[in-house]
Every structure is written in C-alpha cells, then in structure tokens.
C-alpha cells in the first residue's frame, strides 16, 4: 500500500499547533480559503480553495484533543474517499512534531503513485505554511502561489 506522508517540527506548544488545524480562522491562513465549521468529531464539512474554484466534502472521523485528527475526503481523478490522519507529538513544552498521512489511494499503480506524490507535496506545503505562521507570524501563501492562474494551461 502506498501512503503519502509529510512531517515537521513546529516550535510551538501542542495546544497552539493542534488548534491551528481544527480552527478555520487559523487554517484559512495556511491552507483552504473557507470552511463550513470547526473540525470536530462526527462533523461533515466543506473546505473551499476559492483561488482554484475547488472544494472538498470532508467527514471528520476522529478527533482526540492534542493528539490526533482523522478525516475522510475525496481524492484523485475518481474522487475515491481517502483517509488523512494528523498526529501531534509534544516535544517538551515548546515544540510539536506533526505528521500527516494520507492513505487509501485507488487506481492503477501509476495513478496511486502520482496521487501519493501530489498529496505528499500538498501536505508538506501545509506544514511549512503552519510552521511559518505559528513560529514567525508570517503568511506565506504557499497553497495559492503553488499554481497561480497565469501558469495554468
């Protein structure tokens, strides 16, 4: 099975880092542009990336405060549901190790590999953006600048 995985130390307390991924007021500064609500277990949310005219319907499967978030969302050309898991490991009182794993890709071996690479890249950008915002208060606009309209064919 091919999974996508990205990980990063964010030098902020686990409470602050975890909250950044469940609170759309923070997450919209680093990832999607709009959410229909806070990430809470059992919720069905819609996340929008308005700059790309794209949205995703997200089911929140698990939320363990300060430890873990698991969602299911459509991914790939056939929009098969895949699972995304964030884990938050405190490194002392002032740093958090965040791991994001996306699993359950479908299609041919080449399709699965392409989806895993694309997902790894996307979640790496998300973690770098979170690190910049939480550690330095800088919004890098990584997701918006990844594929600006002027470069799309």
Q: What is the pLDDT of residues 58-83, one digit of tens each?
A: 999 999 999 999 999 998 778 889 99
Q: What is the pTM of this model?
A: 0.94
Residue 24 reports pLDDT greater than 80: yes
Give residue-wise pLDDT tens across range 97-146.
999 999 999 999 999 999 999 999 999 999 999 999 999 999 999 988 88
Return the closest-CA partner of residue 84 out of 98, 68, 65, 71: 71
User: What long-range pairs does 26-30 form, CB within 8 A, spacing at least 24?
Assistant: 26/133, 29/129, 29/133, 29/139, 30/126, 30/129, 30/130, 30/133, 30/139, 30/140, 30/142, 30/143
Residue extents of the structural domains in the chain:
4-146
CATH 3.30.530.20 given to domain 4-146: yes
């Amino acid at each position: 099975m091919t999974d996508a995985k990205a990980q990063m130390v964010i030098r902020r307390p686990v409470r602050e880092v975890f909250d950044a991924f469940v609170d759309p007021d923070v997450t919209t500064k680093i990832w999607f542009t709009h959410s229909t609500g806070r990430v809470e277990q059992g919720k069905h949310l819609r996340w929008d990336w308005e700059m790309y005219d794209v949205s995703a319907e997200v089911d929140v499967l698990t939320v363990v405060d300060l430890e873990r978030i698991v969602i299911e969302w459509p991914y790939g050309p056939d929009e098969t549901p895949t699972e995304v898991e964030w884990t938050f490991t405190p490194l002392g009182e002032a740093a958090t190790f965040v791991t994001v794993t996306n699993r359950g890709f479908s299609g041919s071996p080449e399709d699965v590999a392409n989806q895993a690479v694309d997902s790894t890249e996307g979640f790496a950008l998300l973690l770098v953006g979170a690190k910049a915002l939480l550690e330095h208060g800088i919004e890098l606009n990584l997701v918006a600048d990844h594929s600006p309209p002027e470069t799309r064919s």
